[in-house]
Structure formats: C-alpha cells, structure tokens
A and B are shown apart, each in its own frame.
Chain A
Amino acid sequence: MLIAQQILNGLSFGATLFLLASGLTLVFGLMRIVNMAHGAFYMLGGYVGIAVSAISGNLLVGLVAAIAVVGVLAFIVEIGLLRFVRGQELPEVLLTIGVSFVVADVCLWIFGGDPQQLPNAVRPQGTLTIGTFSAPWYSLFVIGVALVIGIALALVQTRTRVGAIVRAGVDNREVISAMGVNIRWVFTGMFVVGAALAAIGGTIGAGRTPILQGVQNEVLLYALVVIIIGGLGSIAGAAVGSAVIGLIDVFAKTYIPELSYFTVFLPMALVLVIRPQGLFGRTA
C-alpha cells in the first residue's frame, strides 16, 4: 500500500509540475525563449493566491487574483522588455533572469521570508479511503486540475483558430506574418498565458509545498528538466515528462535520499545527449 501511496504522491507532484512546465514549453515552442522568470511567476502566483484566498476564504477567488496579477506582470515584461531584444536568444534568456531577480526580491519585500502555505480552510480536505489505501482529496484535486487544463490546452491547440495560428507560428513565423497575422501580439498572448499557467501552478502547488524564497529556482529547474525530457514545445511531452519526474522524485527521495537530485537530473542529461530534441520533440 505504501507503493500505491507513493505513486499517488508522485502523480500529484507531477500534476503541479505539469501546470508549471506546460506554460514554459508553450512559450518556448512559439517564441524560442527559455523563460527563466517562470519560477518567479510561480512564486508570485503562489503568494498572491495564498493571500487572496486567505482573505476571501475562497480558493477560486485566490486563483483568479493570482492569474490576474501575474498575467499583468507578464504582459508588462513582454511588451516593455522582451520586445526590445526579440530574436536574440541569449539577451532574451538573460533578461528573464534579471526579471526573476527583481520579482523574487519584491516578493521578499511584500510577503516576507517565512514559508507560506494555502490555508486549510480553502482547500479540499479529508481523505478518500479504499480499504487500507487512503488518498488525500487535495492530491486528487491537484491531479484533476492538471488533467482538465492539459486537455483544454490540447483541445485549444488542435481544434480552434487560435490554436491553428499558434501551431503555424511554431512552424514558420515568417509565413504566418505574411498571411496577415500580427505575430507580435500572438507572442505577447502566449507569454501571458504561459505566466498564467505558472500562477495556477503556484497557487495550487502552495497546498502541497510551501512557497518561500528559493522555491522559484527549484521549481524552474524541475520544469526545465520536464520540458527537456518531454521535448521543448510539446504539451504531450510535458505531461509525460511531469509524470515521470514526479514519480522518480518521490521514489528517489524515499529510497535513495543521498542521490535524490542526481536521479532527476541524470535522466535529463541522458536525454540531452542521446535524444536532444526530447522524447516528444520533433527532430532538429
């Protein structure tokens, strides 16, 4: 039963990772930017979500607030900073590193240095018990949210006009702009959506692991591992990668704690060397 418990635990960690990694991978797929501020967006989303849901007593209100705050910030970062270095890979990445520094420090300023968690009153409580196996409702809730969002993203991407524009942008931005689509605003929109996903991840994830200084780097690294293993730009890859890394991490922390980081980053190093485009990535 311990194993079943851990599988559930790993999947629910994987679900948080998916919320985070899907935003990162979508932004990378379209814009070719590795957004190093993604972890900071997660952290800010977590703090805002905790604070607002504690005041309002409603998780949904907290979520909306987190999405709004982080979304506006991402909008400002995109049109105020990233547009000026468009197409220059390293400056883009470095700029987001700078943004991450600033956001993290402003969070420390506003929310203080103590670890914060989602208040118990607003989260699904209790456990689902089947025989000797008991599953916290919250873990199931996290997995459910990730599934819904994952399916929604996949549907939007494959079934709608917006999705078609984004896919076309991924394949060839020159042609799609020549066909009359203002690709700059598609980029901005995608960046905001990616950040909003990070904010959702932060708020929901704050029910599992506390939000505190330093968490931005940790979650960013996990998300990077996931999207590299899954293939940059691929939603399906992010889903599989998240589940795999979530499970590996939980099992490794239980059975071989001395090597727990190693077990997460080794698969990534291997994938990069053997199949650099990732499991689901298209050939380079």
Chain B
Amino acid sequence: MSNPGTRATPVVRPATGLIPARLGGGGGFFRSRTFQLVGLGVVLAVGIALPYLGTNSFAISLTSTILIAAILASSVNFLVGEGGMASLGHGAIAGAAAYGAGWASKQGMDVGMQVVLALAVTLVVSFVYGVLSMRTSGIYFLMVTLAVGMLIFGLASKYTTVTNGDTGISGIARPEFLGEYWTYYYFVLAMFVVSTALLWIVGRSPFGASLRGIRDSESRMRSLGYGVAWYKVGAFMISGFIAGLAGLLSVWHTGFVSPTSTGVERSVLLIVMVILGGVGTTLGPLIGAAIVVLIENVLSSYVDRWQLILGLIFIAVILFARAGIAGSIAKLVRRGRRRPA
C-alpha cells in the first residue's frame, strides 16, 4: 500500500460515506428507533393479514421469497451496518446451507437431519470465512469474501459426486406440517421476525457497540485492548448463521438448489438490496429485498430490460440517496419533527 497516510492499516475507513451519519446518536436516536419499531409493527400486521386479503397463492409465495431474501439481506446488513464489512460471499453461505439440507435429503435422511446438516455446514463455512477475513477490512474484506464465495460456487458446480453439478439437487421436501403454501408463509414470516429481533438485540448489546467501535476506528479499538480479529469472526458467525437460516428456508421454499444460488450474482444482489434499503436500518433489508425481488420476478415479465433498470436504480441510490430508502425516510421524518420544535 502506498499512500503513506494509510500505511499503518491497509484501509482506514472501510465504509466511509455508506453509513448514514449514524442513525441517531443523542435525541434523534430514540426517534428513529420509535419510527423503525412502528414501521416494523405495520409490516408485521400487513404480513399476518396478507393471506386473508384475497391474495392468491402466487402472491403469497412471492412474499415468502421476499421475506427469505430479506432475512439474507439483513445478515449482510448487520455486517455492513454494525461492522463496516461489506461481504460479497453471503449468497454462497446461504447456498452452502441449502446444499447441506439438499445432500441430506438426497441421502434419504429425515427433516431433522436436514436441519442439523444445514446448520453444521453453515457454522463451518462461516467460521472459515471469518478466520480468512478477520485481519482484513474494507475492499480486502470484500475480496476475501468474494474468493471464498467463488470456492463454494466452484465446489457446487464441479464437485458433482456430492452436489450433482450444474443440475443441482431437486425434490427437497420441507417438514410436513409446513406443507401448505400459507403455513409455510407464516413460518417464514415468524423466522423473519425472529432473525430481525436477534440481529437487533445483538446490535444493541455491548458486543454490537464494540463492533461499531471497530467499524469507526479499528486501530483505536485495538489499542484499547479489544481482540479486534475475534470480534470480527464472532460477527461473521452471527451473520453467517442468519444467512444459513435463509438458505435453509429458501431450499424448503423451492425444493431445489443449484450452483446459481451460491454465485457471485446472488451476493451482489444482496449488497444491492442492502444499499437500496439503507445500510444499518432495521427495515432497510426488507424494503431492498422487496424492490429487487419484485423487479426480478414481476417487472421482468413485462419488460426485458430489468437488469438495466436495476442497475440504473442502484447507481441513482448511491449517487443521490446514500442512506438508502429506509434511511432517507427516517431522515426526512427526523427533519420534519425537528422543524416545529
């Protein structure tokens, strides 16, 4: 590295400019939290009522897809928002978990073993990610996660004896009590709430505070005596666990897993979701996931150029609404409240 200013650590401010001037700090913090809790309550109410609103099975199933994507995006959001670590490998973690479940199902094991294997694969993979990336930050972190993601993709597509190669594994059944599309929808919704709550609690804990400290100044945290590297591994394990959960949910949703679901394109879309929604916000991942999934699944049947549209939206958000959609709304609400006071 060559810039003398950055010689001590390869990358000084990993996430500069991406974290919306800290959602809060002082009085604004409480307000934005209330705002987010109210938002979450509304989303939950709509989510519970959805099957009764005359929606068909396609809409419900699409909503499940959005929720699963949102869980995955929230695991990425946690790492970027709290730890300043932008990962391009989370698609592969979810994919690895899905392969764990898929392999168990291929061997004729029951649902319990599917869960155990998915969990085991997730934990091992997240640990490998964490250990390989724990001494890096910023762009280097991005590239390590990218590389490990590609390793998993390579295994998925070429190690045919285990993964069936590019054909993938199909016919993976979910537990019988979740067989109906709407029972499964409620299960996914519950998992979304649980994982969002979990990440929220971790974010507010002393551990979360230390992570934000590392994000803002790694060298300072190190000189304060924190084991920065292991904090990062811990953060990665938590985030990876949620990503693995999303992978298991998605393989139960579609009954199918192929190398595509571990690919870089997936991981890139996750980052797109997080940025679109707003880094570090509670509702952001859901908003971002909804936009991306809807563009990918609904808009694409009307217009051919959905990738172009997605790319342009993404560029516009980075240039003009760095805080993302949820972040920008929160900012507007705060501004509106402050004015009369």
**Cross-chain contact of B146 among A170, A224, A261, A262 (Cβ < 8 A):** A224
Closest A residue to B17 by beta carbon equals: A88
Inside 8 A of B322's CB, which chain A residues have their CB?
A: 91
**Does B127 count as interface, using CB distance less than 8 angstroms?**
no
A160–B11 CA distance with the chains assembled, in angstroms = 30
Given A84-B319, A95-B318, A99-B315, does the pair A269, B4 have CB atoms closer than 8 Å?
no
Closest A residue to B16 by beta carbon equals: A88
Contacting B at CB under 8 A, from A56-101, are 81, 84-85, 87-91, 93-95, 97-101
B153 to chain A, nearest CB (A): 7
Choose among A94, A104, A172 the residue with the greatest number of B CB atoms under 10 Å from its CB.
Answer: A94
> When each residue 187-207 of chain B gets 1 if its CB lies under 8 Å from chain A and 0 otherwise, what string results?
000000000000000000000
Given A260-B158, A284-B7, does the pair A269, B139 have CB atoms closer than 8 Å?
no
A81–B268 CA distance with the chains assembled, in angstroms = 19
Inside 8 A of B319's CB, which chain A residues have their CB?
A: 81, 84-85, 95
Given A81-B315, A261-B155, does the pair A91, B147 have CB atoms closer than 8 Å?
no
Segment of A13-21, A182-190, A192-200, A272-280 in the binding face: A272-280
Inside 8 A of B136's CB, which chain A residues have their CB?
A: 272, 276
B42 to chain A, nearest CB (A): 29
Taking residues whose C-beta sits less than 8 angstroms from the other chain, chain A's interface range is 35 or more
**Cross-chain contact of A90 among B1, B86, B312 (Cβ < 8 A):** B86
**Does A173 count as interface, using CB distance less than 8 angstroms?**
yes
Closest A residue to B148 by beta carbon equals: A269
Given A89-B14, A93-B139, A102-B315, does the pair A258, B265 have CB atoms closer than 8 Å?
no
A109–B305 CA distance with the chains assembled, in angstroms = 8
Q: Report the interface size for chain B: residues with CB under 8 A from the other chain.
A: 55
A283–B8 CA distance with the chains assembled, in angstroms = 10
> When each residue 306-341 of chain B gets 1 if its CB lies under 8 Å from chain A and 0 otherwise, what string results?
011011101100110010000000000000000000
Q: Is the CB of B147 within 8 A of A105?
A: no
Inside 8 A of A221's CB, which chain B residues have their CB?
A: 146, 150, 264
Q: Is the CB of A34 within 8 A of B142?
A: yes
Closest A residue to B314 by beta carbon equals: A98
**Cross-chain contact of B158 among A101, A170, A258, A277 (Cβ < 8 A):** A258
**Cross-chain contact of B308 among A84, A85, A101, A258 (Cβ < 8 A):** A101
> When each residue 257-281 of chain B gets 1 if its CB lies under 8 Å from chain A and 0 otherwise, what string results?
0000000110010011001000000
A104–B314 CA distance with the chains assembled, in angstroms = 15
Q: Is the CB of A89 within 8 A of B16?
A: yes
Choose among B2, B153, B310 the residue with the greatest number of A CB atoms under 10 Å from its CB.
Answer: B2
**Cross-chain contact of B318 among A85, A170, A233 (Cβ < 8 A):** A85
**Cross-chain contact of A260 among B14, B18, B154 (Cβ < 8 A):** B154
**Cross-chain contact of A91 among B135, B144, B308, B318 (Cβ < 8 A):** B318
A185–B308 CA distance with the chains assembled, in angstroms = 29
Q: Is the CB of B312 within 8 A of A233?
A: no
**Does A157 count as interface, using CB distance less than 8 angstroms?**
no
A159–B10 CA distance with the chains assembled, in angstroms = 29
Given A102-B315, A109-B305, does the pair A97, B13 have CB atoms closer than 8 Å?
no
Given A101-B310, A217-B264, A221-B146, does the pair A91, B18 have CB atoms closer than 8 Å?
yes
A229 to chain B, nearest CB (A): 10
Given A90-B15, A105-B308, does the pair A34, B158 have CB atoms closer than 8 Å?
no
**Does B116 count as interface, using CB distance less than 8 angstroms?**
no
A262–B155 CA distance with the chains assembled, in angstroms = 7
Q: Is the CB of A172 within 8 A of B265?
A: no
Q: Is the CB of B158 within 8 A of A93?
A: no
B143 to chain A, nearest CB (A): 6
Q: Is the CB of B307 within 8 A of A105?
A: yes
Inside 8 A of A104's CB, which chain B residues have their CB?
A: 307
A183–B271 CA distance with the chains assembled, in angstroms = 31
A210 to chain B, nearest CB (A): 18
Choose among B7, B142, B315 the residue with the greatest number of A CB atoms under 10 Å from its CB.
Answer: B315
Q: Is the CB of A257 within 8 A of B158?
A: yes
Q: Is the CB of A224 within 8 A of B143?
A: yes
A86–B83 CA distance with the chains assembled, in angstroms = 22
B51 to chain A, nearest CB (A): 34
**Cross-chain contact of B314 among A101, A105, A268, A284 (Cβ < 8 A):** A101
Inside 8 A of B142's CB, which chain A residues have their CB?
A: 34, 93
6 tightest Cβ-Cβ pairs between the two chains A and B: A261-B154, A101-B311, A88-B17, A102-B311, A98-B315, A105-B308
Q: Would you list 10 pairs from A and B whose C-beta atoms are within 8 A, ordered by A residue?
A: A90-B18, A91-B318, A93-B86, A97-B314, A98-B315, A105-B305, A105-B307, A260-B154, A269-B132, A272-B132
Seed contacts A32-B3, A105-B305, A262-B158; 15 additional CB < 8 Å A-B pairs: A84-B319, A90-B86, A95-B315, A98-B311, A98-B315, A102-B308, A102-B315, A171-B2, A224-B143, A233-B2, A259-B159, A261-B150, A272-B136, A272-B143, A282-B1
